[in-house]
Amino acid sequence: MSWGASESSYGDMFRELDPTAHFPSLLTLICHYGRWGFFVDKCTSFCNNCSMIKLKENDPRYKIDISRKVFVYKNLHKDCWSIKQDGLVKAHTHDLEMWDCAFHVNAKGRAKVLEEKRKNVHAGVKGYIDEHGVSSIERPLTKDWNSVTYNPYKYDSFVDKTTEEPIYYSPFARLSHKQVLVA
């Protein structure tokens, strides 16, 4: 049976992300959605809208339950997005699509930043991971998407970059390496 790509080419793709990673010899599922695809094996997931680097893959506590909300924040040390669920950072990614998104800023955390002049994790997006790229189907990337930013020294909430109006909720959000877009 032909899957459209050999098992070794998928392994090579992941070795580019993490050359030290171990890859199982048998892929259990390969799916294709248009020109983008994803496969799931026993330890690694690569989906059409994100390439997550999961932490402690063999520990069941670090498995992301996509039926529950996650908290995503910008990790300044690793220059990526950190995905947190149940109080544990479970994965890191550079690109992610989410739905039912609430933008949250912890007031005490922000006050600490202003007092100490040192950044800490106190703001992020809470919502569901959009593993199938539904937001891309529902709202293709057009001028309907607005860019969002947060700067604790200027604002007390996330704001629209153009209008500087506060943003607290969005049905869809795209978190990329350099920007956050909301629909």
Domain membership of residue 56 (yes or no) is no
Domain membership of residue 174 (yes or no) is yes
Determine the structural domain holding residue 95 and report its residue range: 65-182
Residues 24 and 76 in one domain: no
pLDDT tens, position by position, 16-34: 444 444 433 322 222 323 3
d(CA 62, CA 130): 18
**Secondary structure (3-state) at 35:** coil
Let me know the angle formed at the C-alpha of 114 by 110 and 116, rounded to the nearest 5 degrees: 110
For residue 91, what are the contacts with CB-CB under 8 A and spacing of at least 6? Answer: 52, 53, 54, 55, 64, 82, 83
What's the pTM value of the predicted model, to 2 decimals?
A: 0.68
Residues 175 and 138 in one domain: yes
Total count of domains within the chain: 2
pLDDT tens, position by position, 101-143: 999 999 999 999 999 999 999 999 999 998 775 555 555 656 6
Residues 117 and 173 in one domain: yes
Structure tokens at 168: 């607290």
Domain membership of residue 32 (yes or no) is yes
Domain membership of residue 163 (yes or no) is yes
H helices present in 18-121, as ranges? 107-116
Residues 70 and 29 in one domain: no
d(CA 136, CA 97): 9
pLDDT tens, position by position, 46-73: 333 346 777 777 888 889 999 999 999 9
Position with higher pLDDT, 162 vs 26:
162
Domain membership of residue 58 (yes or no) is no
